[in-house]
């Protein structure tokens, strides 16, 4: 069971991935981060991006690099999120991503994936 709800996962003809996400207020990520002012930690946000990529077809890949990450808005309990992920065609398995809250960018960056060491194919 995931600690969030992934809904409406779609992959367009241009390979853009989009999904709606809801993180319930009782998610363990909100416990202690921060008491009285819960926010979703950045590592959890990056995990959701990876899950969206993986569940859309790029399974069995590992994160090899994360860059240009910007956290611009806090994500709080009950926020409705939208993730968009766009392959960077010039960079192999590299993706630009955005997490939106109420039409505003909460997080953006670039995530690169690769086959695990010693394995080939997908």
CB 96 within 8 A of CB 110: yes
Sheet holding 104-114, edge to edge: 5-11, 17-22, 80-87, 94-101, 104-114, 62-71
Query: Is residue 33 annotated as a catalytic residue, yes or no?
Result: yes
Q: Which of 7, 22, 33, 54 is catalytic?
A: 33
Tell which residue, 33, 1, 18, has the closest CA to residue 81.
18
18 Cα distance to chain centroid: 10
For residue 27, cis peptide bond before it (omega within 30 degrees of 0)? no
E strand or H helix at 55, and its extent? helix 42-55
Catalytic residues: 33
């Amino acid at each position: 069971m995931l600690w969030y709800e992934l809904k409406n996962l779609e992959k367009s003809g241009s390979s853009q991935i989009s999904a709606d996400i809801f993180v319930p207020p009782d998610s363990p990520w909100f416990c202690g981060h921060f008491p009285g002012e819960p926010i979703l930690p950045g590592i959890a946000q990056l995990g959701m991006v990876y899950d969206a990529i993986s569940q859309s077809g790029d399974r069995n890949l590992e994160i090899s690099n994360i860059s240009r990450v910007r956290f611009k808005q806090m994500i709080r309990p009950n926020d409705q999120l939208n993730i968009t992920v766009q392959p960077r065609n010039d960079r192999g398995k590299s993706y630009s991503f955005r997490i939106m809250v109420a039409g505003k960018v909460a997080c953006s960056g670039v995530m690169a994936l690769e086959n695990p060491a010693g394995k080939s194919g997908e």
